[in-house]
Amino acid sequence: MGGTETMMAGTAASAAPLELSLQGALNLALDEILAEDPKALVLGEDVGTLGGVFRVTSGLAGKHGAARVFDTPLAESGILGMSIGLAMAGFHPIPEVQFDGFAYPAVNQIVCQLGRMNYRSRGTLPMPVTLRVPSFGGIRAPEHHGESLEALFAHVPGLKVVSPADPQQGYTLLKAAARMPDPVIFMEPKSRYWQKGQVITESGLDDGGKSPVADGAAGARIARPGRHLTLVAWGAMVARCLQVAELAAEDGIDVEVLDLRWLKPIHADALAASVGKTRRAVVVHEAPRTSGLGAEVAQIITERCFGTLKAPVERVTGFDVPYPSGDLEDEYIPNIDRILFGIQRVLEYKRG
């Protein structure tokens, strides 16, 4: 997982990129995974005939068979527990919990079982399970349909956590996660499902016979280069930070946006390289502030860049409140103004 900050940009494409939504890119990735890996299985609530409530699994059951893409009863602990048993039987399950908040009923299986089985069995029972979790808020959904669980999952030993920010990331990271021999929590920003972007697929790459996805999916990524300050974000917040950077540029502030991608392991070298250059950082996340991942990111930056920092690392986050109803969502999720205020605080910081 060492990885570099750049990914597919440098790889020569032999076919035109596809214009896909994040949902479509994830669907394509699952389709290819099921075609390539006869041990891959997709399971969860409504993932079969319906194709998932966000249609990410649309058409897969028809194409790959109802045995490989199947609906389960409505029980998240059951979905995860079953996936663990399937992995013990040599399969590569890709379970879905329908919404982030419904991962809570499965936490026992995720924390006590999924994250520990490789360790407990001394490496003899690997857990190549990719848990897809439609994540974060921004769609005015009912309670438990918009939560930011990354700190909870990242804190659990034995789990890896990743969140794509756009269609290309969705495609690349999901293919990479599904090929990993370890459990990956794959947090899909549901507010971005319908945003389109260009996707270079593996079949469209002139890769000289070597798949670029594994390398291209490692570590963090510079979503926008800049000189004055680094905005660190992941998932749905990357797009917002890119908007903020455009606005800041109008005021002559050149903001770099670092798409962290992997929330565990965090790509510390990428953080150090970016903040080492800009000397200022703001971490942006939707999750509540206290013990959030922003604290971890800020500490990594402090350890790596203490001598060069011009200001303490700032956090712009959700609040320490239960994720609010749709009407208050825009007050809770870091908006453009709050992020700009954060940038301002860092730029205007004076040593006391």
Nearer CB in complex with other proteins: 228/264: 264
Q: From the centroid of its chain, how far is CA 154?
A: 11
Q: Is 145 a catalytic residue?
A: yes
- Check binding of 211 to other proteins (CB under 8 A): no
Give min distance, CB of 113 to other proteins, in A: 6
Closest alpha carbon to 310 in 201, 219, 230, 238: 230
Among 6, 14, 49, 121, binds other proteins (CB under 8 A): 121
- Check binding of 299 to other proteins (CB under 8 A): no
- Check binding of 265 to other proteins (CB under 8 A): yes
Nearer CB in complex with other proteins: 93/292: 93
- Residue span binding other proteins (CB under 8 A) among the ranges 56-64, 96-104, 120-128, 223-231: 120-128
Residues sharing a CB contact under 8 Å with residue 209, sequence separation 6 or more, in sequence order: none
State the binding string over 123-142 for other proteins (x if CB under 8 A, else -).
xxxx----------------
Phi/psi at 288 (nearest 5 deg)? -55, 150
Among 145, 190, 264, 280, binds other proteins (CB under 8 A): 264
Cβ neighbours around 79 below 10 Å, total = 26
**Rounded CA separation 168/197 (Å):** 7
Query: Which H/E stretch holds residue 160?
Result: strand 160-162
Closest alpha carbon to 97 in 56, 128, 127: 56
By CB under 8 A, what part of segment 6-45 binds other proteins? 41
**Rounded CA separation 70/281 (Å):** 44
- Check binding of 182 to other proteins (CB under 8 A): yes
State the binding string over 97-116 for other proteins (x if CB under 8 A, else -).
-----------xx--xx--x
- Which of 92, 145, 267, 285 is catalytic? The answer is 145
Q: Is 192 within 8 Å of 163 (Cβ atoms)?
A: no
**Rounded CA separation 199/210 (Å):** 18
- Check binding of 302 to other proteins (CB under 8 A): no
Q: How far is CA 24 from CA 54, 161, 168, 262, 297, in A?
A: 10, 21, 10, 21, 31
State the binding string over 48-67 for other proteins (x if CB under 8 A, else -).
-------------------x
Give me the residues that bind other proteins (CB under 8 A), please. Answer: 1-2, 41, 67-68, 72-73, 75, 77-78, 80-91, 93, 108-109, 112-113, 116-126, 157-158, 160, 180-182, 264-266, 268
Active site residues: 145
